[in-house]
Amino acid sequence: MALRTTSTLALVVAQWATRSLAQTATCLNYGTLLANGTCDCPPGFDPSTSCTLAACDNPLESNPARQPFSSVLAGNASTGCARQCTSGFVGPNCNVCTANQACASALQAVNGGGASSSNGMSLTKGLGDPVCSTGPWTWTEGFASCDVVNPTLQSVFAGSTTLTIQKTVEPSQSLSSPFGANGSMTAQLWYAPLSGNTTVVQQFFCAADSCAQSNSTTSGNGTVDWTCQNLRCTCIPGTTFCGAPGSALDLTSTIDGLSGVLDITCDAATGTQCAFKQDVLKTLFGANGLALSGCRWGECVLPGAVSALADALAGKGASKAGGGSGGLSGGVIAGLAVLGGVAGALLILLALGKASQRRARRQAREEDEKAPLGAGGGGAAALHSGAPGGLPGSASSSSHSQQDGAEKLSDPTPSLPPVGIAWTNLSYTLSPTPRFFSLLPFSSSSASALPEEGKQILSSLSARVEPGSFVSILGPSGAGKSTLVDLLAGVRKTGRREGVIGLVGGEGLGEKEKIRIGYVDQGDELPETSTVREAVMLAAELKLGEISHETKRERVFEVLTQLGLLDVADSIIGSPEGNGNRGISGGERRRVSIALELVARPAILIADEPTSGLDSTSALRILTALRALTLPSSSSPSSSRRTRRTTVICTIHQPSSQLYHLFDDVLLLAQGGTQLWFGKAGAAQAWWEGKGERCPEGWNPADFLLELATSPPAAFIPLRPSPTTRKSATLLPASPSHTTHQLPYTSSPSSRPFFPTPRSLLRNTNAHQRASRKPTTTAMTQVEVLSKREARNLVRDKGLVLMHNVVPTIVGLFVGGMFYKVNLTIGGFQSRVGALFFLGCLIAFASLSALANFAHAKRIFVRERARGYYSPVTWLASKLVFDIVPLRLVPTIVLATIVYWMVGLAHDAAHFFKFLLILSLFAICTTLWNFVLAAAIDDTGSAILVSSVLNLFQMAFAGFFINLRSIPPVLRWLQWLAPLKYALEAVTINEVGAGLMIVDELAGAKVQISAEIIMQTLFGFKENAYYRDVLVLFAFIVGFALILIATVLVRLRELR
């Protein structure tokens, strides 16, 4: 009796001492010191011992009511409280339930068999009998006990190591004794040696907050992830892991240094295999951190509590069945207003365009009735004729004045007077201004390197080409032939130009009459899927103004006849690369390029290397056709249409003797852009013989001149002065006075600029070039003509249409089969979102073909824009419509329809069309973005690479691979730049908003919850964000469209 009294007294003294210590010391295991001097401990720890001693029984009991761990009852065992646990509970501190009956019995036993748990939750709320959830997914407050099987630790600390985990998700609904706020966790590591005193002893403890629970799928295996922030751990001094005497290793500094992000990952199927991952642990033990096996999860929970919680978080009452509110939300109204505004604006633009087209055509008919069609009427490369003015010091070519006089006497319908061109002291130097590739306009040159800055290309050239002449510009490579014709044709150049260029002749033209100048570039950029007739007809429809269609057809027939193209008029042009779409020959392609300029009846036609790459027969045929343009043409007495001889200037590299004698005049350039000769072709040999340079007998005169230009005599190589003072190498006598019309980029008082532009700005641009880019037809006509071409291209490019519409059908069947009729479990919901994510990724990568199509079309656009066919906006409009509708929207609708019904998404029309709306907006958005990349980046391969990388960025921030709320704040803002994020969020909300309920089983108990809570938990999507996402996608479309228009206007223009 005395012994029992003594023992009781000793126990009381010990408890008093422990409480006194608690008042002066902090609570272990991150417990909270209360005002009464005791500690609020995590479940399973005795508050009377400052949370140092394990508390047994079960977690439904409050910690003070649970019996403390007794080494007497535990004996020499390594199972901790096992012998003191309530039946059906296991673990070092008895927190893990194992059966439904254990939870029910424990709850009934709380407070002497009352109807409430330690948390105060009543069983009279109709939530059902408590069950033991043994899966890794935590609903309110879950517990786990896992074996730590790590070879490194076991080699140092032989024995059994156990990690216990407590996860708090919704403490207000927990049946256990709650600890910690929503989204918090605690963990403890226990160790029992193999020999000696094998009683399990706690070694260290950890805690973290800001936790988020999610499901994910890796390599086909589902996992439950618990990701937390602000991890902190504390090693218990004097324990085996933390510096106990005789311990093989002291881990105190390592354990105390654990911090940052913690990720606990478990297999979703059983939860037995988990990983405790943190950066330091991954460095020590590999990518999976501290591996856990044999995990046992247990949580006493009421089945109906989860459903009630889902409804509460979603802000719904019990009466809501997933339908929706009775009125239109602000997002719906805003969306309808935006769409209505867009539709109204398009209708207004259409009406204005048709009205403008009718006015222009009526005016053209009235003008045609008043006067014969001559050189008047706006046209591409057209110039206002200015006041007469002389060009002193210019060398003159031969004229056809006698032929002109005879023509005027004999022809009842006098032809229009031909027009020549002259230039004086024309020099060109590359600009030394730094150029940045990102700001450079699109270049039609094939050279990859920038030219040498400050280099002089042309030096003080002077010549006069008489009206109706056929002139050749000869010179070796690098003599500046192409640069000279670029300047004469008004092509945009990056360098500095000096000198005067003017028009010669054209007597009798009115003040409002215009002169057309055509330019045939060295390369043939032609529409591959068009026939020869269609290509020339398109040029006629866009360059001849709003005259009648029949008149344009007559002009096309006339040009095809002149150039000998009638035999191939209905042949596809094709590609010159021999890639399986071979069409007409190289010579025929050159003649088509000439026809595109000739159809507008230019007064001057300039051709750069028209015979390049052709055989002698083809070259002769082309030059013969060009010479025929300079000869008088007979007019039918019944015809009221006045004609004009065309002045033709062309560069030629090495003509044969037969070709050389076709030309009236020859301009010879030496290396460095120095002029050696200009005059009649037949007089060149005699002139040079007079200078002591004799042409060897039997030589081709052209070869003799090129030999001189390649290695000119010393007497003809002047010192190289500055561009403003340098004179041509040969000063020829000036021709008799002629009427000239000075071009508007000179500042002579006798000329009237087309645009009043300061001279300082005219060195890189001029009114000639601006006028050449001005379309002659209305915007509506341009759209109609370009739309016909785009539609024709689609019909003829069967492979393109087939791949874009058949492949999505096959892929849709594959995806639909893979996700066929997914179930309504948590895993099934993950699969639903996976199917939606797959659709978004497929649409994003499929739009790469838009990039390739645009890159292929932009070269023809640059040429046609420079020749004044149309405005960039009308080309973009037709291109976008005939790319987006048949190649983006139709395949997207086919693909989405197949997948939608095979997967088993919401079975009602409203949600189906809302689903199609989102995917259609996303398809348009990605298409426009790829157009922007194609317009901004010249190299197609680089553009595709950039687009692919950006697609991967969208996938990373879409919310499927990672919960958006768990992304570090420094990177989280990037999600707002990913259109795929808004598309995935909207289609997921659309599916969940149809009233989708998750039906699953937990430890044999059926649980039914709203999919909204799972969506928010797994992906971080907001339930009311659908219409916001629609407006954001629409904003992306508008933004990308504006960027595209600006890029096309600034970059896609000819600049050499």
Give CA–CA dist 111/177, Å, rounded: 13
Q: Give residue for tokens 């057309």.
A: 516
The three-class DSSP label of residue 385 is coil
Residues forming beta bridges with residue 519, ordered by sequence position: 606
Give tens-digit pLDDT for 867-894.
Answer: 888 889 999 999 999 988 888 889 889 9
Average pLDDT over residues 102-119: 71
Candidates 502, 133, 458; CA nearest to 301 is 133
Give tens-digit pLDDT for 72-92.
Answer: 776 656 778 878 899 999 998
- Residue 462 contacts residue 423 (beta carbons within 8 Å): yes
| Helical (H) or strand (E) element with 464 | strand 456-465
Which stretch of 98-107, 264-273, 592-601, 611-620 has the lowest confidence by average pLDDT? 611-620
Please state, in angstroms and as integers, the Cα–Cα distance from residue 282 to each residue in 274, 947, 963, following that order: 14, 34, 21
Candidates 1004, 1053, 726, 1022; CA nearest to 101 is 1004
Give CA–CA dist 1052/1056, Å, rounded: 12
Query: Comparing 82 with 391, which gets the higher pLDDT?
Result: 82
Average pLDDT over residues 358-375: 64
DSSP string, 733-759: PBPPP--EEE-TTS--TT---SS---G
Considering the domain 382-444+451-772 in this protein, what is its CATH number? Answer: 3.40.50.300
Candidates 67, 69, 25; CA nearest to 50 is 25
- pLDDT tier at 388 (50, 70, 90 boundaries)? very low
pLDDT for 1008 equals: 59
| Residue 1025 identity (one-letter amino acid) | A
| Tokens representing residue 983 in the block | 């598309």
Q: 688-722 b/e with 16+ CB inside 10 Å = b? A: beeeebebeeeebbbbbbbebbeebeeebeeeeee
Angle separating helix axes 779-796 and 872-884, nearest 10 degrees? 40
Q: How many residues does the chain have?
A: 1056
Given a cut of 80, is residue 273 above it in pLDDT? yes
Q: Give residue for tokens 């561009």.
A: 723
Give tens-digit pLDDT for 918-972.
Answer: 999 999 999 999 999 999 998 888 989 998 898 888 888 887 777 777 778 888 7
The pTM assigned to this predicted structure is 0.60
Q: Give residue for tokens 């609904």.
A: 173
Quick one: DSSP state of residue 31? -
Candidates 481, 816, 500; CA nearest to 674 is 481
- Residue 319 contacts residue 293 (beta carbons within 8 Å): no
Give CA–CA dist 366/194, Å, rounded: 110
Which stretch of 329-343, 618-632, 712-726 has the lowest confidence by average pLDDT? 712-726
Given a cut of 50, is residue 201 above it in pLDDT? yes
Query: Comparing 994 with 314, which gets the higher pLDDT?
Result: 994
| Helical (H) or strand (E) element with 223 | strand 221-235
Please state, in angstroms and as integers, the Cα–Cα distance from residue 395 to each residue in 466, 657, 742, 919, following that order: 10, 24, 16, 67
Quick one: DSSP state of residue 57? B
Give CA–CA dist 581/796, Å, rounded: 11
Backbone angles phi, psi at 251, to 5 degrees: -100, 15
- Residue 854 contacts residue 934 (beta carbons within 8 Å): yes
Question: What are the sequence ranges of the domains in the chain?
Answer: 27-313, 382-444+451-772, 796-1051
Quick one: DSSP state of residue 567? G
Give CA–CA dist 542/535, Å, rounded: 11
Average pLDDT over residues 393-399: 46
| Residue 1013 identity (one-letter amino acid) | I
Given a cut of 80, is residue 450 above it in pLDDT? no
Other beta carbons within 10 angstroms of residue 139's beta carbon come to: 23
Distance in angstroms between the alpha carbons of the first and the last residue of the chain = 113
Give CA–CA dist 349/355, Å, rounded: 10
